[in-house]
Amino acid sequence: MCGRYTLRVSPAELAEIFSVLNTIDWSPRYNIAPTQTVVAVRAREQNDGRELALFRWGLIPSWARDDKIASSLINARAETAASKPAFRTALKRRRCLIPVDGFYEWQAIPGQKTKQPFLIGVRDVRVFAFAGLWEHWTAADGSERQTCTILTTEANELMQQVHTRMPVILDAADYDRWLDRQRQTADEVADLLKPFPAARMQLTPVSTLVNSPRNDRPECVAPLPRQGTLL
C-alpha cells in the first residue's frame, strides 16, 4: 500500500517537470498523510495539455452518501480497480498522476515493537509519479470536493523486503498514455499497472518521526545508519 509520501519541490519545478499550463500554491512537504490536500496532474478538459490540481487524498465515489468512505479508499488495487464500483469509472475517465519525490514504508524488526521506517525513491530522478484516479463528489449541502486515490500493485524484489504491495510508479514515457482521456477502457492502460523495476529504486532508513503525521519537517527524511534492519 502507500500511506505516506513526500513532495519537496516548488510549484515552478512541478510545472517544468510535468509540462503543465498552470501553477498552484504549494510548500515543501515531508510527511503527506491520507485525507490531506495533495497535488495531482491531470489532462485538461479538452485533452489539450496537462494541468496541476489539488485533491483530497482518499477517494469519495460520486454515489457516496457521505465522506466517511474516503479514509478506506486512499489506495486502489490495480488488479481489481476495473471491476470495483468505487474505481471503475475513474479508471476509464479520470486518471491522474500523483507527483512524488519519496514515499515511506515500515519494516517489522524481530524482537522490536517499533517498526523501522524507510524512505523509498527512484534513482537519479528528482520527481516521479504514482498512477492515480480522481473523482468529483457533491455533499448534501451542495458543496463539491475533488478527491483521489493511489493505485497499488504487487511489490517488486526490493519492496518485498518491507511490504507485499507498492504504489504503481509510472515511467515518464507513459504519462501521456495514462492521462489520455480518449483511452476509456481499462485494457488500454492495464499494462502500465505493474511493479516498477527494483534496480531503479532505493530504500533509505529514516527516523520514526514519520510515524506521526503531525511531524512534517526536513528531519523526517534524514538518513539513518543501516543498523538493526533486515536489509
Angle at 90 (CA atoms; ends 46, 170), nearest 5 degrees: 85
Is beta strand 116-122 parallel, antiparallel or unpaired with respect to 201-205?
antiparallel
Contact 56, 70 (CB under 8 A): yes
- Amino acid symbol at 210: V
Residues marked as catalytic: 2, 105
Provide the residue count of the chain.
Answer: 231
Could you give the CA distance from residue 8 to residue 126 in angstroms, rounded to a whole number?
10
| Three cell numbers, residue 114 | 517499533
- Quick one: CA torsion of 91, 92, 93, 96, rounded to 10 degrees? 40
- Amino acid symbol at 199: A
